[in-house]
Structure 1
Amino acid sequence: MVTITLLWSLLWVASANAEVTLPQPPVPVVDLGEQLSAKQKALLTGEIANLQKDSGFKVRVLTQKAESPGRAVRPYWGLDEKSILVVVNVYENNPLDFNIGSDVRPKLPRVFWQELQGRYGNQFYIQEHGRAQSLIETVKAIDISIRQGGRASVPGIPAEHWAFTFVLSICGGLVAGFASHGRGENEGFSWQGLLISSPLWFILFVAFGLGPVLTRTNDFVLILENIGGFLAGGLFAYLIPSPKRDTPGTNPS
């Protein structure tokens, strides 16, 4: 669960256990957890500086182990209503935490931070890519989202998430295809059946299939693949012979 309002209190409790000296003059990336290379620090520093120059929003990064600077980071960085603090707690299963200013919330609501933490802070991502890459991708997602004027979902869609939406698109097509079977002997296609079943296939295809892709990426290949999956599923289901469409056989006399 994303810790936003309570992060300051957690940092303050940790600071009681150890005194931490912050580098002077202030730098936007403080790597007390020793997770970043010099090149990665420079990359994050440049990205953060450009975002602050272009948008006025201030992103700051802190990695930490057992020791924490606590509330000292607030005057150190001059954090205010337009600030975003990204904290990486090295010893936590999900290392990502955030503290956001009040002016940030209308642009990037709580659901955004929950998805961001779940995507780049989960154990599988950390084990495969490492904490440094997790932090870099997190800051990149924040940068893109602010430059777009705000988002309710994290930009980009992981491969496993897209695969799930693709399967649901196919399922929506199967429902639509089966429902389109004609009910009478001479009825080939049933618009009525398609419309009656529309709430189900619409939810599968649009709400859970195509919708999550459209809100997270403008990659036309992924979008077309989901549409193609829906159409292919529908055609396959429609072409499967239905008992009500079979031509009656002639019984021997």
Structure 2
Amino acid sequence: MFISHFPNNLTSSIHATDRCVLSSLFNPKANTIEQLGVGPVEAKVGVNKPELLPKEFSPVIDVAGFLSDGQEKRLAQEIDNIEKDTGFKLRVLAQNYPDTPGLAIKDFWQVDDRTIVFVADPTFGNILNFNVGASVDLDVPRSFWSRLAGKYGNVFYWKEKGEDGAIEAAVVAISSCLKEPVGSDNCSEVK
């Protein structure tokens, strides 16, 4: 896991090998990030394929085909409940890089500092990657995202439970965390 601040005050906690791709969501000029003592990695080319976006708005975009229609609907309902209950926007993108809408999701989802962009992509091993807005970062400890990825995103978990199982478990854990009262021990457990 890698944590970095982006120039527009969005914070990202993402897997080191794809941090350049995801960072380009928020800074198209970024090609490497050298903070926290992590050196540059081969930069992945930023992708922008708006043609892969759905015609109508959805908080879940599954270009990889990991989720059934029923799973997508249940996740969308859970995400809607999260937004109503907490004011935070969770957005889920399931992809197999480079088959992704990439940069196009920023405008499509109106990503802001209260948005969590959850990218499920098994290309680099750990399937769970998160871009977290600055307001979310104030309420949710950074360690939560690392623990979440470690529990449900590791290759052993998603090979056994499936990509869909990892995505669903992560959304439930995020929902549980965001609904906890903010305090010194909120989100201390990944449920």
TM bucket by the smaller chain?
0.7 to 0.9
Matching residue of 1:36: 67
The one-letter code matched in structure 2 to 1:44 is L
DSSP 3-state at the match of 1:133: helix
The one-letter code matched in structure 2 to 1:85 is V
Matching residue of 1:186: none
Give yes or no for the alignment of 1:126 onto 2:135. Answer: no
Query: How far apart are the structure 1 equivalents of 2:112 and 2:23?
Result: 13
Give yes or no for the alignment of 1:77 onto 2:109. Answer: yes
**Shift, 1:8, TM fit:** 2.7
Give yes or no for the alignment of 1:98 onto 2:120. Answer: no
Q: Rg: which structure is higher?
A: 1
Q: 1:48 to 1:10 in 2, by over 3 A?
A: closer
Where is the helix percentage greater, Structure 1 or Structure 2? Answer: 1
Give yes or no for the alignment of 1:53 onto 2:84. Answer: yes
Matching residue of 2:171: 139
Matching residue of 1:26: 57
Q: 1:124 to 1:54 in 2, by over 3 A?
A: same
Structure 1 unpaired stretches of 5+ = 157-253
The one-letter code matched in structure 1 to 2:162 is G
**Shift, 1:147, TM fit:** 0.6
Matching residue of 1:154: 189
Q: 1:126-151, CA deviations, whole angstroms, 9 ceiling, x for partnerless residues?
A: 12111101010101111011111342
Matching residue of 1:192: none
Matching residue of 2:121: 89
Within 5 Å, which residues of 2 pair with 1:158-173? none
DSSP 3-state at the match of 2:129: strand
Matching residue of 1:179: none
The one-letter code matched in structure 2 to 1:109 is P
> Under a length normalisation based on structure 1, what TM-score does the superposition of the two structures give?
0.57
Does 1 or 2 have the higher relative contact order (CA < 8 Å, sep 6+)? 2
Query: How far apart are the structure 2 equivalents of 1:75 and 1:131?
Result: 26
Where is the strand percentage greater, Structure 1 or Structure 2? Answer: 2
DSSP 3-state at the match of 1:30: strand
Does the CA-based 8 Å contact 1:94-1:123 persist in structure 2?
A: yes
The one-letter code matched in structure 2 to 1:76 is F
Matching residue of 2:24: 9
Query: How far apart are the structure 1 equivalents of 2:117 and 2:46?
Result: 17
Q: 1:2-33, CA deviations, whole angstroms, 9 ceiling, x for partnerless residues?
A: 462642327962416x6643112211100011
> Under a length normalisation based on structure 2, what TM-score does the superposition of the two structures give?
0.74
Does the CA-based 8 Å contact 2:63-2:95 persist in structure 1?
A: yes
The one of 115, 120, 127 equivalent to 2:147 is 115
**Shift, 1:123, TM fit:** 1.3
Structure 2 unpaired stretches of 5+ = 4-11, 14-18, 29-44
Q: 1:106 to 1:10 in 2, by over 3 A?
A: closer
Q: 1:117 to 1:41 in 2, by over 3 A?
A: same
The one-letter code matched in structure 2 to 1:8 is S
Query: How far apart are the structure 2 equivalents of 1:145 and 1:94?
Result: 21
DSSP 3-state at the match of 2:75: helix
DSSP 3-state at the match of 1:104: helix
Query: How far apart are the structure 1 equivalents of 2:25 and 2:108?
Result: 17
Query: How far apart are the structure 2 equivalents of 1:53 and 1:93?
Result: 33
Query: How far apart are the structure 2 equivalents of 1:55 and 1:79?
Result: 16
